């Protein structure tokens, strides 16, 4: 039986290139492509892929939050982070979200397909180029520095609101996106600012980028 793969990336050229290459593997089948985290969650629920290739840095809903949601909707699926980012907060939070593997986008294609096979068999895989980050993070786990991140300070809903704020969405747009009232968005905004002790959007945007909640400006 073929390994069913779902590709999630906000760049169409990346999705299509990966799809064409993966489809050439006799033991793999690309069952779907998603351009953002929300679509990824819906497709994972519908298609129950064996492996999800998840871009980490995406607008609207980042790959970290999307990974959590995908694994809730499709518990049998396994996620491989495929990212250009090797910073420890991205690696750490993807594994905390439930990812089974982490690869950098500059890896060789042979490494990618071998990782898909390993993950589909229930194993885990970390790109050798970032394994040191994982070891260091494990060694320092539980330190005060590790506790002060957006993923421990803010709730999931607050992180979603912060990402959309940082990406320039208005209160009304955020409300429509998250199916909540503008008044609730404003309440979340105040709590975010109070928790982070940040009172302007520019600094909130900088914080969101640093924490991996939203991609930096191209």
Domain boundary among 139, 171, 188: 139
Same domain, 45 and 100: yes
Please tell me the total count of domains within the chain: 2
Same domain, 109 and 157: no
**22-50: average pLDDT:** 96
Residue 86 confidence (pLDDT) above 80: no
Same domain, 166 and 122: no
Report pTM.
0.83
Kindly report the backbone phi and psi dihedral angles of residue 206, in degrees, each rounded to the nearest multiple of 5, phi listed first. Answer: -60, -45
User: Would residue 125 count as lying in a domain?
Assistant: yes
CA 102/CA 91 separation, integer angstroms: 7
Please report the pLDDT score of residue 195 as a whole number. Answer: 92
Sequence-separated (6 or more) residues with CB below 8 Å from residue 140: 146
Other Cβ atoms within 10 Å of 148 Cβ, number = 9
Domain with 160, as residue range(s), is 148-210
User: Would residue 7 count as lying in a domain?
Assistant: yes
User: Would residue 94 count as lying in a domain?
Assistant: yes
What burial letters (b/e) apply to 119-140, b meaning 16+ CB within 10 Å? bbeeeebbbeebeebbeebeee
Q: For residue 107, give the DSSP letter.
A: S
**115-133 pLDDT, tens digit each:** 999 999 999 999 887 877 6
What CATH number did the domain enclosing 203 receive? Answer: 1.10.10.10
């Amino acid at each position: 039986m073929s390994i069913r793969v779902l590709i999630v990336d906000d760049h169409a050229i990346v999705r299509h290139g990966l799809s064409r290459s993966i489809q050439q593997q006799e033991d793999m089948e690309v069952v779907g492509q998603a351009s953002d985290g929300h679509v990824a969650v819906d497709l994972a629920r519908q298609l129950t892929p064996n492996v999800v290739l998840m871009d980490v840095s995406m607008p609207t809903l980042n790959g970290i939050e999307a990974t959590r949601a995908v694994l809730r909707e499709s518990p049998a699926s396994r996620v491989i982070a495929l990212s250009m980012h090797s910073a420890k907060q991205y690696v750490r939070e993807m594994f905390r979200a439930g990812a089974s593997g982490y690869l950098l986008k500059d890896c060789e294609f042979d490494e990618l397909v071998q990782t898909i096979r390993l993950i589909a068999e229930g194993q885990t895989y970390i790109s050798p180029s970032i394994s040191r980050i994982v070891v260091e993070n494990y060694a320092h786990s539980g330190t005060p520095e590790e506790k002060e991140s957006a993923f421990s300070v803010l709730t999931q809903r607050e992180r979603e609101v912060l990402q959309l704020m940082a990406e320039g969405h208005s209160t009304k747009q955020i409300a429509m996106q998250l199916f909540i009232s503008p008044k609730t968005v404003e309440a979340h905004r105040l709590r975010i600012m109070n928790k982070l002790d940040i009172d302007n959007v520019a600094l909130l945007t900088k914080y969101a980028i640093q924490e991996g909640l939203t991609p930096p400006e191209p």
